[in-house]
Amino acid sequence: MVLELKNITKNFGGISALTDVSFQINEGEIFGLIGPNGAGKTTLFNVITNMFSPTSGEISFLGEKISGLKPHKITDKGICRTFQNIRLFSQMSVLENVLVGGHCRSKSGVIKSVLRTKSQRKEETNSHDVALELLELVGLSKFQDSIAENLAYGQQRRLEIARALASNPKLLLLDEPAAGMNETETESLFDLIKKVQKRGVTVLLIEHDMPFVMKLCDRITVLNFGKKLAEGTPAEIQNNQEVIEAYLGAEEDDEIA
């Protein structure tokens, strides 16, 4: 088991954003988190990465309790994420963005960097090689010298994933990675996430594109009003009457409208 959430509750004043949410994610899974807008999905991501501390409950990663750890310590443990809104270093090059993502794995301190020691130079070369490999993985190697803000929208999304992978995560959290993408970009993203899975990275995914989720994910948890409504395989979720009434039915109505 990679991640375990036990009875996670998050209150903001008198408002409960999450209430007793529990689930487990197994190694190597692509695990979907779905639900209507305002269901608490991104709040749950923020709690897992401790951008928000849970009001109550416990989170364990690879068998170790991580509740209460500072966000950078959670990254050090092997959890990394992307955001619903793209957060790149817009004026830096594509390659530089990925190199920044791998900085948390750097062992060279200030002194070694200033003195340009042999170990520091070797580490820098290795980081550069890893960054180029990741750009190849996400299909952006020919844009390595381009300024990040000049990339097309779908390319910026893939660059975010490359930057996250540079931290060498065991668990990758993707917050609506297909949002705003056209059909071709979505298909490319599907292939990319499958490649990430084959690299041994477990994926937790928030997404509103239901065909994408149902085709991609191994298991899915559904949130509604901050509470866990259902969990199961894509087929089980699609045939769950409570889910249909609370979410999938509304999605179908929107499509018809």
Looking at residue 84, its pLDDT comes to 83
Q: For residues 86 and 88, give the distance between their C-alpha atoms in angstroms, rounded to a whole number.
A: 6
Sequence ranges of the chain with CATH classification 3.40.50.300: 3-78+169-256
Token match 């897992």: residue? 48
DSSP state of 147: B
Q: For residues 108 and 90, give the distance between their C-alpha atoms in angstroms, rounded to a whole number.
A: 26
The fold for domain 3-78+169-256 equals Rossmann fold (3.40.50)
pTM over the 0.85 mark: yes
- In the chain (257 residues long), the average pLDDT of successive 10-residue segments reads 97 94 98 94 96 96 94 93 87 94 57 55 75 96 96 94 94 95 94 97 96 97 96 96 79 40
Looking at residue 110, its pLDDT comes to 40
Q: Give every CB contact of residue 166 below 8 A, 6+ residues apart in sequence.
A: 98, 99, 100, 101, 102, 105, 130, 131, 134
Looking at residue 118, its pLDDT comes to 65
Looking at residue 65, its pLDDT comes to 96
- Measured from the Cβ of residue 26, the count of other Cβ atoms closer than 10 Å reads 12
Helices 183-198 and 153-165: angle between axes, nearest 10 degrees: 10
Looking at residue 247, its pLDDT comes to 77
Q: Are 204 and 174 in contact (CB under 8 A)?
A: yes
